[in-house]
Structure 1
Amino acid sequence: MKMIVGLGNIGARYDKTRHNTGFMIVDELAERNHIDFDKEKCNAMIGLGMIENEKVILVKPKTFMNESGRAVKPLMDYYKIDKDDILIIQDDLDMEVGRIRLRQKGSAGGHNGIKSIIQHVGTQEFKRLKVGIGRPKIMTVVDWVLGKFKPSEQLQFNNAKDQAVDAIEYWIASGDFMKTMNKFN
């Protein structure tokens, strides 16, 4: 079983904001594969289903971004999911809008949601799918990440979202994350 976690913040106030990139991508993955987020468990909204003949659990933590680990670790324990079978989808300020990057492990790089997961899971060695949201030139980082994509950026973001979902499905089908990184990075 694979666990795909989209990071974001719960509530209408945060819908479609840059910081909810992970939620938007996991929602698209769920829609493409006819999986409903119809359960709540361990401080998260979850959807159980099949993708490419593999059981998956799609996760949207309800803990808010900075406490994501409080949902991820209990779900890993409950479903007996190894760290090698989780993928965290996160926004990334240091990448331009429209870019994605897969990583096998790494530091939090200043991302509080990833910091929380590292703290609760006890390792930096878990897969990530980073999606570029760009860096603000004038406004504060907080206002930027909690703001929505500009109309001029929406096409690039939609392309990144499609590419991200393609990459996730490819990883699940192939079972080979390195091959997936080589194809999509």
Structure 2
Amino acid sequence: MKCIVGLGNPGKKYESTRHNAGFMVIDELLKRHGWELNKKKFNGYYAMEHLDAEKVILLKPQTYMNLSGQSIRPLIDYYGIEPEDVLVIYDDLDLPTGRIRLRQKGGHGGHNGIRSTIDHLGTKEFKRIRIGVGRPDDSTSVIDYVLGSFPKAELEEVDSSIQKAADACEAWIGDSFPVVMNKFNS
């Protein structure tokens, strides 16, 4: 069984913000397959489905970004999912808008959602897809920037990165992560 987690903040207020890029990828996967987040437990909404004969859980933690690990840990413990079978999708200021980057493991890079995930899982050994949101090019604070919506001029690039990330998630269901990384990081 594999678990795909999109990080974000719950509620309409945050729906289309940069910080919700992970939620956007989960929404795209749900749309593609006609699935619904029909379970509410572990401080999150999730779906348990099958894709290519693999059981997969899609999770949107409802703890707010900085506490994401409080949702992920109890869910994977309950279902007996190993951290190396978890893929976390999140926004990244250090990647330009429209780019994605896959990693097998690593530090938090200053991202509080990943920091919480590492703290609660007790390991850095989980897969990641970073969705580029760029950095503010003016005096906007980082917090205001990530909690702001994408400008219209970037929407095409954002949609492209969401599509690529969803493609990578689907590829991981049927292939090894290093192979998926080689394909999508090029």
1:173 is displaced (CA, Å) by: 1.5
Q: Work out the CA distance in 1 between the residues paired with 2:156 and 2:52.
A: 27
1:63 is the counterpart of 2:63: yes
Residue equivalent to 2:35: 35
Residue equivalent to 2:7: 7
1:71 is displaced (CA, Å) by: 0.3
Q: Is the 8 A contact 1:33 1:50 kept in 2?
A: no
1:183 is displaced (CA, Å) by: 0.4
Residue equivalent to 2:183: 183
1:148-163 mapped onto 2 (5 Å cutoff): 148-163=149-164
Which segments of 5 or more consecutive residues in structure 1 lack a partner in the other structure? Answer: none
1:127 is the counterpart of 2:150: no
1:56-105 CA deviation, whole Å, 9 max, x = no partner? 11000010000000000000100100111100001000000000000000
Residue equivalent to 2:97: 97
1:172 is the counterpart of 2:173: yes
**Aligned residue-pair number:** 184
1:137 is displaced (CA, Å) by: 1.4
Q: Is the 8 A contact 1:107 1:124 kept in 2?
A: yes
Residue equivalent to 2:116: 116
Residue equivalent to 2:17: 17
Residue equivalent to 1:52: 52
- 3-state secondary structure, aligned to 2:35: coil
Partner AA of 1:144 in structure 2 = Y
- 3-state secondary structure, aligned to 1:88: strand
Partner AA of 2:18 in structure 1 = R
Q: Work out the CA distance in 1 between the residues paired with 2:58 and 2:168.
A: 15
Moved more, 27-36 or 97-106: 27-36
- 3-state secondary structure, aligned to 1:120: helix
- 3-state secondary structure, aligned to 1:5: strand
1:146 is displaced (CA, Å) by: 0.4
- 3-state secondary structure, aligned to 2:159: helix
- 3-state secondary structure, aligned to 2:45: strand
Q: RMSD of the TM alignment (CA)?
A: 0.6
Identity over aligned pairs, percent: 52
Which segments of 5 or more consecutive residues in structure 2 lack a partner in the other structure? Answer: none
1:142 is the counterpart of 2:153: no
1:102-131 CA deviation, whole Å, 9 max, x = no partner? 000000000000000100100111100000
1:152 is displaced (CA, Å) by: 0.5
Q: Which ranges of 4 or more aligned residues in structure 1 deviate by more than 2 Å?
A: none
Q: Is the 8 A contact 1:7 1:20 kept in 2?
A: yes
